[in-house]
Amino acid sequence: MKTTPFALPKWIFLSLVMLLITPHISFAMSSNTKANIDDKQVEEKLQQYTWYDGNQKRSVWVNPSLMAEFNMPTEGTTAVKSSSTSNVKTQMPFVRFIKIKTDASTLQTERKIQGKSQLSPVLHNVASTTGTKRALPGNVIVQMQRDWSQEKIENWFKKHNLTAIKPLTFAPNAFLIQSKAGLESLNLANKLYETGDVVLASPNWWQERVKR
Protein backbone atom coordinates (compact mmCIF):
# COMPACT_ATOMS: atom_id res chain seq x y z
CA MET A 1 0.00 0.00 0.00
CA LYS A 2 1.41 3.32 -0.94
CA THR A 3 2.05 5.39 2.14
CA THR A 4 2.05 9.16 2.61
CA PRO A 5 4.37 11.44 4.58
CA PHE A 6 4.59 10.50 8.25
CA ALA A 7 4.21 6.84 7.15
CA LEU A 8 0.42 6.92 7.38
CA PRO A 9 -1.72 4.84 5.07
CA LYS A 10 -3.00 7.03 2.31
CA TRP A 11 -6.67 6.74 3.25
CA ILE A 12 -6.00 7.80 6.82
CA PHE A 13 -3.88 10.72 5.71
CA LEU A 14 -6.48 11.96 3.27
CA SER A 15 -9.20 11.63 5.91
CA LEU A 16 -7.19 13.71 8.34
CA VAL A 17 -6.56 16.35 5.68
CA MET A 18 -10.25 16.57 4.86
CA LEU A 19 -11.13 16.90 8.52
CA LEU A 20 -8.70 19.78 8.87
CA ILE A 21 -9.65 21.74 5.75
CA THR A 22 -13.41 21.18 5.53
CA PRO A 23 -14.35 23.96 8.03
CA HIS A 24 -12.26 26.46 6.05
CA ILE A 25 -13.87 25.45 2.76
CA SER A 26 -17.32 25.87 4.30
CA PHE A 27 -16.41 29.33 5.56
CA ALA A 28 -15.04 30.38 2.17
CA MET A 29 -18.11 29.11 0.34
CA SER A 30 -20.49 30.91 2.66
CA SER A 31 -18.47 34.08 3.06
CA ASN A 32 -20.55 35.91 0.49
CA THR A 33 -23.98 34.81 1.64
CA LYS A 34 -26.22 37.32 3.33
CA ALA A 35 -26.11 35.12 6.47
CA ASN A 36 -22.46 35.92 6.96
CA ILE A 37 -22.93 39.56 6.10
CA ASP A 38 -25.58 39.72 8.79
CA ASP A 39 -23.31 38.10 11.39
CA LYS A 40 -21.77 41.42 12.20
CA GLN A 41 -25.18 42.92 12.86
CA VAL A 42 -26.07 40.04 15.13
CA GLU A 43 -22.83 40.26 17.02
CA GLU A 44 -22.95 44.00 17.58
CA LYS A 45 -25.72 45.00 19.96
CA LEU A 46 -25.42 48.68 19.41
CA GLN A 47 -27.18 51.34 21.40
CA GLN A 48 -30.11 52.72 19.42
CA TYR A 49 -31.55 56.20 19.32
CA THR A 50 -34.36 57.71 17.29
CA TRP A 51 -34.76 61.11 15.73
CA TYR A 52 -37.30 62.89 13.55
CA ASP A 53 -36.53 63.75 9.93
CA GLY A 54 -39.52 65.90 9.18
CA ASN A 55 -42.41 63.62 10.11
CA GLN A 56 -40.39 60.43 9.58
CA LYS A 57 -39.10 58.75 12.71
CA ARG A 58 -35.69 57.27 12.05
CA SER A 59 -33.32 55.08 14.03
CA VAL A 60 -29.58 55.39 14.45
CA TRP A 61 -27.08 53.21 16.26
CA VAL A 62 -24.00 54.27 18.22
CA ASN A 63 -20.58 53.06 17.19
CA PRO A 64 -18.92 51.96 20.43
CA SER A 65 -15.41 52.35 19.06
CA LEU A 66 -15.34 55.80 17.48
CA MET A 67 -15.86 59.41 18.44
CA ALA A 68 -16.01 62.37 16.08
CA GLU A 69 -14.19 65.57 16.84
CA PHE A 70 -15.39 68.66 15.05
CA ASN A 71 -13.36 71.74 14.38
CA MET A 72 -15.97 74.36 13.93
CA PRO A 73 -16.70 77.70 15.52
CA THR A 74 -19.37 78.23 18.05
CA GLU A 75 -21.83 80.22 15.98
CA GLY A 76 -21.04 83.90 16.21
CA THR A 77 -17.30 83.43 16.70
CA THR A 78 -14.50 83.09 14.23
CA ALA A 79 -12.61 80.48 16.13
CA VAL A 80 -11.69 78.39 13.15
CA LYS A 81 -11.16 81.00 10.50
CA SER A 82 -7.71 80.84 9.05
CA SER A 83 -5.16 83.22 10.46
CA SER A 84 -3.58 85.72 8.14
CA THR A 85 -0.57 83.54 7.66
CA SER A 86 -2.42 80.36 6.87
CA ASN A 87 -4.01 79.29 3.63
CA VAL A 88 -6.64 76.83 2.57
CA LYS A 89 -4.11 74.03 2.20
CA THR A 90 -3.36 74.06 5.91
CA GLN A 91 -6.81 74.60 7.33
CA MET A 92 -7.84 72.07 9.92
CA PRO A 93 -10.23 69.36 8.81
CA PHE A 94 -13.82 69.88 9.76
CA VAL A 95 -14.13 66.46 11.34
CA ARG A 96 -11.83 63.73 12.39
CA PHE A 97 -12.43 60.38 13.99
CA ILE A 98 -10.90 59.15 17.20
CA LYS A 99 -10.76 55.56 18.27
CA ILE A 100 -12.08 55.26 21.77
CA LYS A 101 -9.33 53.87 23.90
CA THR A 102 -10.41 55.23 27.22
CA ASP A 103 -13.72 55.78 28.82
CA ALA A 104 -15.62 58.31 26.71
CA SER A 105 -16.39 60.56 29.63
CA THR A 106 -12.74 60.70 30.57
CA LEU A 107 -11.86 61.61 27.01
CA GLN A 108 -14.41 64.38 26.99
CA THR A 109 -13.19 65.99 30.18
CA GLU A 110 -9.72 66.13 28.72
CA ARG A 111 -10.94 68.37 25.90
CA LYS A 112 -11.81 71.96 26.49
CA ILE A 113 -14.96 72.55 24.53
CA GLN A 114 -14.73 76.26 23.96
CA GLY A 115 -15.75 76.60 20.36
CA LYS A 116 -12.53 75.00 19.18
CA SER A 117 -13.28 71.33 19.43
CA GLN A 118 -16.55 69.49 19.86
CA LEU A 119 -17.01 65.80 20.45
CA SER A 120 -19.78 63.54 19.34
CA PRO A 121 -20.45 59.85 19.25
CA VAL A 122 -20.36 58.35 15.79
CA LEU A 123 -23.64 56.78 14.72
CA HIS A 124 -24.91 54.75 11.80
CA ASN A 125 -28.20 54.47 9.92
CA VAL A 126 -28.14 50.71 10.39
CA ALA A 127 -27.32 48.49 13.35
CA SER A 128 -23.79 47.91 12.18
CA THR A 129 -20.54 49.80 12.46
CA THR A 130 -19.93 49.28 8.74
CA GLY A 131 -22.86 51.52 7.79
CA THR A 132 -22.58 55.11 6.65
CA LYS A 133 -21.30 57.34 9.43
CA ARG A 134 -23.05 60.31 10.94
CA ALA A 135 -22.30 62.50 13.93
CA LEU A 136 -23.57 65.53 15.83
CA PRO A 137 -21.47 68.70 15.60
CA GLY A 138 -24.05 70.68 17.55
CA ASN A 139 -27.09 72.92 16.99
CA VAL A 140 -30.60 72.08 15.98
CA ILE A 141 -32.73 73.06 13.00
CA VAL A 142 -36.33 73.94 13.76
CA GLN A 143 -38.99 74.91 11.28
CA MET A 144 -42.09 76.51 12.68
CA GLN A 145 -45.56 76.49 11.18
CA ARG A 146 -45.81 78.86 8.22
CA ASP A 147 -48.56 80.95 9.79
CA TRP A 148 -46.69 81.64 13.03
CA SER A 149 -45.76 85.26 13.49
CA GLN A 150 -42.32 86.42 14.48
CA GLU A 151 -43.65 87.34 17.92
CA LYS A 152 -45.21 83.94 18.43
CA ILE A 153 -41.99 82.25 17.43
CA GLU A 154 -39.90 84.35 19.77
CA ASN A 155 -42.25 83.63 22.64
CA TRP A 156 -42.03 79.93 21.90
CA PHE A 157 -38.24 80.11 21.92
CA LYS A 158 -38.34 81.86 25.30
CA LYS A 159 -40.74 79.31 26.67
CA HIS A 160 -38.36 76.49 25.77
CA ASN A 161 -35.21 78.38 26.79
CA LEU A 162 -33.86 78.36 23.29
CA THR A 163 -31.25 80.63 21.76
CA ALA A 164 -31.88 81.22 18.08
CA ILE A 165 -28.59 81.71 16.30
CA LYS A 166 -29.98 82.78 12.94
CA PRO A 167 -32.89 82.34 10.58
CA LEU A 168 -32.33 79.85 7.78
CA THR A 169 -33.04 81.13 4.30
CA PHE A 170 -33.62 77.78 2.63
CA ALA A 171 -36.89 77.01 4.39
CA PRO A 172 -39.72 79.23 5.55
CA ASN A 173 -39.80 80.02 9.28
CA ALA A 174 -36.72 77.89 9.89
CA PHE A 175 -34.08 78.71 12.47
CA LEU A 176 -30.80 77.41 13.76
CA ILE A 177 -31.00 76.83 17.50
CA GLN A 178 -27.96 76.70 19.69
CA SER A 179 -27.03 73.42 21.28
CA LYS A 180 -23.88 71.61 22.26
CA ALA A 181 -22.41 68.84 20.17
CA GLY A 182 -23.26 65.23 20.71
CA LEU A 183 -26.41 63.59 21.97
CA GLU A 184 -27.53 66.81 23.65
CA SER A 185 -28.49 68.16 20.22
CA LEU A 186 -30.34 64.95 19.35
CA ASN A 187 -32.27 64.99 22.60
CA LEU A 188 -33.14 68.67 22.26
CA ALA A 189 -34.38 68.16 18.70
CA ASN A 190 -36.56 65.26 19.77
CA LYS A 191 -37.95 67.19 22.70
CA LEU A 192 -38.88 70.11 20.46
CA TYR A 193 -40.47 67.91 17.81
CA GLU A 194 -42.53 66.07 20.40
CA THR A 195 -44.13 69.31 21.53
CA GLY A 196 -46.20 69.03 18.36
CA ASP A 197 -45.61 72.72 17.67
CA VAL A 198 -43.04 72.44 14.89
CA VAL A 199 -42.93 71.23 11.31
CA LEU A 200 -39.40 69.97 11.73
CA ALA A 201 -36.83 69.68 14.49
CA SER A 202 -33.62 67.95 13.58
CA PRO A 203 -30.12 67.94 14.93
CA ASN A 204 -27.65 69.41 12.48
CA TRP A 205 -26.20 66.07 11.46
CA TRP A 206 -22.82 65.66 9.86
CA GLN A 207 -23.10 62.79 7.36
CA GLU A 208 -20.56 60.79 5.43
CA ARG A 209 -20.73 61.77 1.76
CA VAL A 210 -18.60 60.67 -1.21
CA LYS A 211 -17.44 62.07 -4.50
CA ARG A 212 -18.61 60.13 -7.52
Q: Which is nearer to other proteins, 153 or 181 (CB)?
A: 181
Tell me: does residue 56 bind other proteins (CB under 8 A). yes
Q: Does 171 engage in binding with other proteins (CB under 8 A)?
A: yes
Q: Report in angstroms how near the CB of residue 110 gets to other proteins at its nearest.
A: 24
Outline where DSSP puts E strands in 27-178. Answer: 48-53, 56-70, 95-99, 118-124, 133-135, 140-144, 164-168, 174-177
d(CA 52, CA 38) in angstroms, rounded, equals 26
The answer to whether the CB of 107 falls within 8 A of the CB of 67 is yes
Residue 8-37 contact track with other proteins, rule CB under 8 A, x = bound: ------------------------x-xx-x
In DSSP notation, 3-45 reads B-GGG-BHHHHHHHHHHHHHHHHHHHHHTTSHHHHHHHHHH--
Nearer to other proteins (CB atom), residue 1 or residue 210: 210
Instruction: Summarize as ranges the residues that interact with other proteins (CB under 8 A).
Output: 32, 34-35, 37-38, 41, 53-56, 71-72, 78, 80-82, 88-89, 91-95, 124-128, 130-132, 137, 139, 141, 143, 168-171, 174, 176, 200, 202, 204-212
